[in-house]
Structure 1
């Protein structure tokens, strides 16, 4: 383990044997041989399963847990998640294709996003996927597509609540937002849905993401449930699906403390019991992406050069920001911080050195580690970037400077 492992961050998701990181019961160097080349992402199916088991134990028994595929839409990962979760939430027609290739029934799949194209809406209607309506215009477009297809649409209203998820890494509710319909406009939308005769399912209330504060999540969940109860009188039919979003974060940096999910689960159980009195037919759903898969993956890249520049050591690797934008610090960070990193084939190296790990791109932005103390590494060694199971490869500018692609494996 590297000597600067951030406090509080659990880097024991993966085993270590004979000085090597182990995924899927395979030492990292052998896994690299199996994959055939670096860089690559590796996701551990056992870690995914264990995370879901822990979450189930902490959450209310009657809570439905959906996987937000945008976090990691790799088909093999989605296939595995289909055996663990109660539903999928999508953000594109391509994700819908992947989801429909799994055993997950379409009735447990929903589609959100502020700019769904008419063709995407048509595909979702034909597949019986629930559409989360994001605007009045989108509602009317859905109706036109229904007329063309001769089918009805399953719809839910995505609400932009007046409140926000406090201490959230990315706020997606409260104030003026491109996401969803402002809560004060929802009654009119519901009346329109009733007139149009669409198959109303319920609400989708998503207020933020990457939150490590249990109190903030508990408050947002309680307000979301209360908001649904307040709006129920305007609904054209009883609420059957009540998606109160997610927001569960994972620790990335020094000082980050893992989310107290037991505390969240206890509070949610009490809130759901009260809500059930008013909304007896509603399945309460939480939608999680990063929390389910983020810690189950690593990004692996090989050292191809080592140089000294004015007293600083640089390890130049064959991957970088074009594969892992978030780890480079260019995906929402205001002040760049190092992701947890290890020399994956020298986990117990005693000789240490302070290094900068940089990618092969012709830009000073292509940096994976800034002045990090790690076991002494040489050309050919493998650098492993932790917390890489979510918003990694598909959230990165993979065509930037026409570099070779990375691979992804589920082990």
Structure 2
């Protein structure tokens, strides 16, 4: 798989810095490092390709590193958060509360109380949440701002992870939204908009185009009963990045061209309504790598194992234990031997006492020695924060932005 990083003298560079210098800067392996220039390039590409009226939000769950959040705060139009902790990250980055949306099916009483007090937009996902938010607003003397997260009445087609379109814990079924809207008018809340999240990690542009069109049509139908157009509609995101052999990057131009076709009709029907895309891994996933070191090399019954000081406790997704049905390898490099031929088949494993701790199975790599650096590409999203870092009480990985 091609990667966006430069190389010099057979050594990978991240943000223009030699990986060996980054090891010294980190003080030890394993570590994550994120290239801010690649994040900025992805944002520029989105701004240049999508219609100018489309707003971009960052889904903090993809990578909540504070330095990443602060970097994006001045470059994007808002944040989508899924916990009080993520909400505080967005607020601490200087984002206005009305530009922060709190979603999630299981918001606690304490989280909702803090969200009402902060003034963020609460994406309610049930009548229970709406009534609790109303009660908290009365208690605090604040009129809460809410949106309705809609579980759409359509299913996505090819590719991606489905987050709606059938029985799901996420959102309010589209058929139940009209009743909730009537209930909402009797509550002491301010209604801001709709959030339709149909899926994620989709590389098939026609599927995204169809989902966007159907989401827009759904929202326009739901908005017919409103006295005024909603302030915004959040169409989710769904944009994926390639992880595995044979996967191709998303055709962003196809998505942008289609949006230019259907957006004018929505703007005529709902004048003044802002259209928001909520993106996570598409913004940061390809900008990060995970770096660990070979600490042992061994042969067992004819098969070579490279044992590293990393593993699934730092990078659960790369091990295949974060939702993969059939395990496949993330792209892996021997980062200080990039000019050497891939001459051996080996298994790259971590340091944990479980057979699940595999970074790569049957990978074709240059012959590696103890001390060499293993890099897992496509690691900028759902890496450290999505992993069981306390397992076996190894030190957590360092994180750096360059």
- Structure 1 length normalisation: TM-score? 0.96
Residues 283 and 116 from structure 1, CA distance in 2 versus in 1: closer, same or farther, beyond 3 angstroms? same
> Partner residue of 2:213?
222
> Partner residue of 1:261?
252
Residues 183 and 374 from structure 1, CA distance in 2 versus in 1: closer, same or farther, beyond 3 angstroms? same
Pick aligned residue for 1:192 from 159, 183, 193: 183
Between the aligned partners of 1:64 and 1:350, the Cα distance in structure 2 is: 45
Displacement of 1:403: 1.7
Displacement of 1:103: 2.5
Q: Is the 8 A contact 1:72 1:389 kept in 2?
A: yes
Residues 198 and 168 from structure 1, CA distance in 2 versus in 1: closer, same or farther, beyond 3 angstroms? farther
> Partner residue of 1:102?
93
DSSP 3-state at the match of 2:131: helix
> Partner residue of 1:36?
27
Displacement of 1:107: 1.4
Query: 4+ runs of 1 displaced by more than 2 Å?
Result: 233-238
Q: Say whether 1:332 aligns with 2:352.
A: no
State the Cα RMSD in Å: 1.1
> Partner residue of 1:3?
none
> Partner residue of 1:166?
157
Pick aligned residue for 1:61 from 40, 52, 64: 52
DSSP 3-state at the match of 1:196: coil
Between the aligned partners of 1:166 and 1:85, the Cα distance in structure 2 is: 29
Pick aligned residue for 2:195 from 204, 218, 225: 204
Displacement of 1:351: 6.4
Displacement of 1:355: 1.2
Between the aligned partners of 1:281 and 1:82, the Cα distance in structure 2 is: 24
Cα shift readout 1:138-159 (whole Å, capped 9, x = no counterpart): 1111011111111011100000
> Partner residue of 2:147?
156
Between the aligned partners of 1:284 and 1:313, the Cα distance in structure 2 is: 52
Between the aligned partners of 1:144 and 1:283, the Cα distance in structure 2 is: 28
Between the aligned partners of 1:174 and 1:380, the Cα distance in structure 2 is: 49
> Partner residue of 2:37?
46
DSSP 3-state at the match of 2:333: strand
Q: Say whether 1:399 aligns with 2:353.
A: no
Between the aligned partners of 2:157 and 2:185, the Cα distance in structure 1 is: 34
> Partner residue of 2:137?
146
Q: Is the 8 A contact 2:342 2:364 kept in 1?
A: no
> Partner residue of 1:177?
168
**Number of equivalences:** 402
DSSP 3-state at the match of 2:385: helix
Q: Is the 8 A contact 2:296 2:306 kept in 1?
A: yes
Displacement of 1:257: 1.1
Q: Unaligned regions of 5+ residues in structure 2, if any?
A: none
Between the aligned partners of 1:47 and 1:205, the Cα distance in structure 2 is: 28
DSSP 3-state at the match of 1:277: helix
Pick aligned residue for 1:24 from 12, 15, 33: 15
- Structure 2 length normalisation: TM-score? 0.98
DSSP 3-state at the match of 2:224: helix
Q: Is the 8 A contact 2:134 2:188 kept in 1?
A: no
Moved more, 42-51 or 160-169: 160-169
Displacement of 1:232: 0.8
Q: Unaligned regions of 5+ residues in structure 1, if any?
A: 1-5
> Partner residue of 1:285?
276
